[in-house]
């Protein structure tokens, strides 16, 4: 269904209003995880307005979602620069709410471990683990090779493991 | 080749080629630590996904409204209205600041031009001084040559009796330049650019026609006294004469001035141009009358009469009889009267032709701060409103002119701003 819709959009020109109806929620949540809830709606709105302005540049080589995430990433970076947002303070894990009983790993510790990651590592974790993008899609969004995404994920998880379980054998290396 | 642990995360995510996937599977069977690590990574991934913040969506409706609005209106392809308005406002502010500067510099330029005209006229006089002197001494063709040797005076008419010879000298057109010249004769002729320097080698000597030129100029000026002073200094700077001046007006009335100015004929046009810069021209007229033939005719008749006078004098000397003596004396008196008359006529023509006359009338502009006649409050209000409307009209007109004239500055600036903003958004 989505593929058909994307084909129609490519043929008739991208309908950004329709794209907003389909993808506003993932884009907004991505922005929340990048710049925090205060600026997320601004970033998401700017993302779709920018998409509307540059819709002619969309060539259909990637999915609309990936393309929108790429724009959102740039908007978030711009906002971070303008507003001097400390990305380490942006929560990725819901520490306060939800049922933590089934969790093996302490969510507070996990949040702290994620906050210690570098921006590049955190970006790739968010895109792949939370947003569910494939390595190739994440590479498109970040404009880096797939191998870089793979490497960053490996090192991000290695660092998370080191932080969460310093005694672990594999973490020693 | 990557190690097992480097590919472990990609293995979990099924992002490896199938053969590498199988290879790692086999390795994991043998490596219990790696298997534990894999389990931990899987668990970590699950924890991150499950525990991820799931915020409530905000700004969805607003974004849709914006997009609908943006979709409805056509894509802006060219004219950035807001940027243009900002640039226009900037230009107006700039124009408001620069207007007094422009106005001041215009006035300064006018005064500089007036002074320059007077200065150049003085400089011309200095430069022409040697030829002026020689022309005064020896007439138009009688100057010294480059080596200081006196140049030959061509076709000097002989004062011998006989009408035919007089006609000959009259026909050559040279005689009236060789006679005693008035003070005005030398400078104008020597300054004529169409005439080669006297005593120069070869070339026909062109003679400037004798013109009686009159000009009438009516100006509206800011300050009559000031304009009158400037006109006087201007004319004096051109070796002219202020023949008469009549200034009227005081504090309560608008001033007027009437001046009769005499300037060397060759500077007539320069003087008119310079005088026009003193104010706003209301009327302007100039007239020229060629009196070359008239002067030549007068001089020829004068010479004939002088020859006749000589003949009568000779005749008188040889006469012995009283009756004849009285008759000859009577004739001689008549001839001499006619000579005087012709000579006066000749001098008047020369004077008029060498010095042109400019009649300058100046009226003061109506000042805004002149006390108005007492009026009722409604008339005052109406007049004020009309003035305001007029001022707004003038302001808008000036603004339009400034915007138009300054468009080479603000149009590229506006386009640049628009482009930069568009680029930064993208």
Q: What does the pLDDT profile of chain A (173 residues) look like in tens digits?
A: 455 455 555 555 677 888 888 888 889 988 888 888 888 888 898 898 888 888 877 777 778 888 889 999 998 888 888 887 777 777 888 777 655 556 677 888 888 888 888 888 988 998 898 888 899 989 988 889 999 999 999 999 989 888 887 776 544 44
Q: Is A87 on the interface with B (CB under 8 A)?
A: no
* CB distance B234 to B114 below 8 Å: yes
Task: Please judge whether A105 and B43 are an interchain contact, meaning their C-beta atoms are less than 8 angstroms apart.
Answer: yes
Q: What is the pLDDT of residue B207?
A: 62
Residue A88 Cα distances to A32, A57, A122, A170, B48, angstroms: 13, 33, 9, 26, 16
Q: What is the pLDDT of residue B119?
A: 56
Give the residue, B33 or B375, on which the prediction is more confident. B33
Give the mean model confidence (pLDDT) for residues B121-128.
50
Task: Please judge whether B60 and A25 are an interchain contact, meaning their C-beta atoms are less than 8 angstroms apart.
Answer: yes
Interhelix angle B322-354/B183-191, rounded to 10 degrees, is 40
Q: What is the pLDDT of residue B182?
A: 37
Interface A-B, measured as beta-carbon pairs within 8 A, has a size of 137
Cα torsion through A117, A121, A124, A130, rounded to 10: -10
Nearest to B97 by CA among B417, B402, B404, B425: B402
Cα distance between residue B338 and residue A81, in whole Å? 107
Instruction: Locate B166 and state its tokens.
Output: 């007089």
Q: Which residues contact B425 (CB under 8 A, 6 or more apart)?
A: A50, A53
pLDDT at residue B22 is higher than 50: yes
Task: Please judge whether A53 and B47 are an interchain contact, meaning their C-beta atoms are less than 8 angstroms apart.
Answer: no
Task: Return the residue of B nearest to A94 by Cα.
Answer: B53
Task: Please judge whether A93 and B51 are an interchain contact, meaning their C-beta atoms are less than 8 angstroms apart.
Answer: yes
Q: Residue A161, SS3? A: helix
At B314-329, the pLDDT tens digits run: 888 888 888 888 888 8
pLDDT at residue B217 is higher than 70: yes
Mean pLDDT across chain B: 74
Q: Are strands B211-221 and B355-364 parallel, antiparallel or unpaired?
A: parallel
At B336-391, the pLDDT tens digits run: 999 999 999 988 888 888 888 899 998 887 765 555 556 688 888 999 999 999 99
Least confident of B85-99, B252-266, B314-328, B360-374: B360-374
Write out the residues of chain B at the interface with chain A, using a CB-CB cutoff of 8 A: 5-10, 13, 15, 33-34, 36-37, 40-41, 43-45, 47-55, 57-60, 62-64, 66-68, 70-71, 422, 425-426
Pick among A170, A171, A173 to test the B interface (most B CBs inside 10 A): A170
Q: Is A147 on the interface with B (CB under 8 A)?
A: no
Q: Is A52 on the interface with B (CB under 8 A)?
A: yes
Q: Is A133 on the interface with B (CB under 8 A)?
A: no
Q: Is A109 on the interface with B (CB under 8 A)?
A: no
Q: Find where tokens 């929560």 sit.
A: A91
Nearest to A52 by CA among B108, B73, B249, B229: B73
pLDDT at residue B333 is higher than 60: yes
B286: β partners: B215
The pTM score is 0.41
Give the mean model confidence (pLDDT) for residues B131-156.
38
pLDDT at residue B115 is higher than 60: no
CA of B87, closest CA in chain A: separation in Å? 23
Nearest to B369 by CA among B387, B395, B382: B387
| Beta strand extents in B168-230 (DSSP E only) | 211-221
B260: β partners: B244, B359
Give the residue, B147 or B97, on which the prediction is more confident. B97
At B160-180, the pLDDT tens digits run: 343 343 334 344 433 333 333
Residue B169 Cα distances to B157, B165, B174, angstroms: 5, 6, 7
CA of B391, closest CA in chain A: separation in Å? 44
Q: What is the pLDDT of residue A148?
A: 93
């Amino acid at each position: 269904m989505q593929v058909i819709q994307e084909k129609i959009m490519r043929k008739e020109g991208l309908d950004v209003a329709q794209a907003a109806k389909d993808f506003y929620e993932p884009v907004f949540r991505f922005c929340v995880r990048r710049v925090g809830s205060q600026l997320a709606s601004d970033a998401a709105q700017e993302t779709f307005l920018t998409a509307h302005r540059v819709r002619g540049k969309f060539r259909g080589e990637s999915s609309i979602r990936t393309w929108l995430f790429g724009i959102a990433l740039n908007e978030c970076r711009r906002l971070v620069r303008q507003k001097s947002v400390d990305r380490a303070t942006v929560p990725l894990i819901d520490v306060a709410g939800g049922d933590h009983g089934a969790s093996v790993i302490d969510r507070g510790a996990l949040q702290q471990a994620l906050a210690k990651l570098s921006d590049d590592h955190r970006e790739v974790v968010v895109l792949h683990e939370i947003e569910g993008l494939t390595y190739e899609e994440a590479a498109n969004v970040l404009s880096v090779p797939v191998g870089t995404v793979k490497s960053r994920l490996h090192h991000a998880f290695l660092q998370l493991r080191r932080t969460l379980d310093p005694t672990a054998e594999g973490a020693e290396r | 080749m990557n190690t097992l642990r480097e590919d472990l995360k990609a293995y979990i995510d099924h992002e490896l080629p199938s053969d590498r996937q199988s290879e790692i599977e086999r390795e994991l069977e043998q490596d219990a630590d790696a298997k534990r690590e894999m389990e931990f990574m899987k668990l970590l991934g699950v924890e991150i996904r499950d525990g991820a913040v799931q915020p409530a969506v905000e700004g969805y409706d607003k974004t849709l409204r914006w997009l609908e609005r943006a979709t409805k209106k056509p894509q802006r392809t060219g004219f950035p209205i807001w940027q243009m308005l900002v640039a226009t406002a900037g230009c107006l502010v700039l124009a408001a600041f620069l207007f007094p500067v422009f106005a001041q510099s215009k006035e300064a330029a006018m005064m500089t031009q007036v002074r320059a005209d007077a200065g150049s006229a003085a400089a011309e006089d200095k430069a022409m001084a040697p030829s002026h002197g020689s022309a005064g001494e020896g007439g138009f063709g009688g100057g010294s040559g480059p080596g200081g040797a006196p140049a030959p005076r061509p076709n000097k008419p002989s004062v011998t009796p006989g009408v035919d010879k007089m006609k000959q000298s009259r026909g050559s057109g040279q005689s009236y330049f060789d006679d005693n010249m008035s003070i005005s004769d030398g400078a104008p002729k020597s300054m004529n650019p169409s005439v080669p320097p006297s005593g120069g080698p070869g070339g026909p000597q062109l003679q400037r026609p004798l013109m009686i030129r009159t000009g009438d100029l009516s100006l509206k000026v800011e300050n009559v006294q000031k304009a009158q002073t400037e006109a006087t200094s201007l004319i004096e700077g051109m070796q002219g004469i202020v023949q008469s001046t009549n200034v009227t007006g005081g504090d309560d009335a608008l001033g007027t001035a009437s001046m009769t100015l005499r300037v060397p004929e060759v500077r007539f046009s320069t003087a008119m141009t310079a005088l026009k810069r003193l104010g706003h021209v209301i009327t302007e007229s100039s007239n020229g009358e060629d009196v070359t033939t008239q002067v030549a005719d007068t001089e020829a008749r004068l010479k004939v009469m002088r020859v006749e006078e000589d003949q009568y004098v000779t005749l008188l000397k040889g006469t012995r009889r009283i009756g004849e003596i009285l008759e000859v004396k009577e004739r001689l008196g008549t001839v001499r009267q006619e000579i005087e008359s012709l000579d006066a006529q000749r001098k008047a023509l020369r004077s008029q032709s060498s010095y042109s006359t400019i009649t300058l009338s100046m009226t003061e502009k109506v000042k805004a701060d002149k006390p108005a006649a007492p009026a009722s409050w409604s008339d005052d209000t109406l007049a004020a409103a009309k003035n305001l409307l007029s001022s707004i009209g003038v302001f808008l007109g000036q603004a339009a002119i400034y915007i138009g004239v300054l468009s080479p500055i603000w149009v590229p600036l506006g386009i640049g701003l628009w482009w930069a903003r568009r680029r930064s958004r993208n």
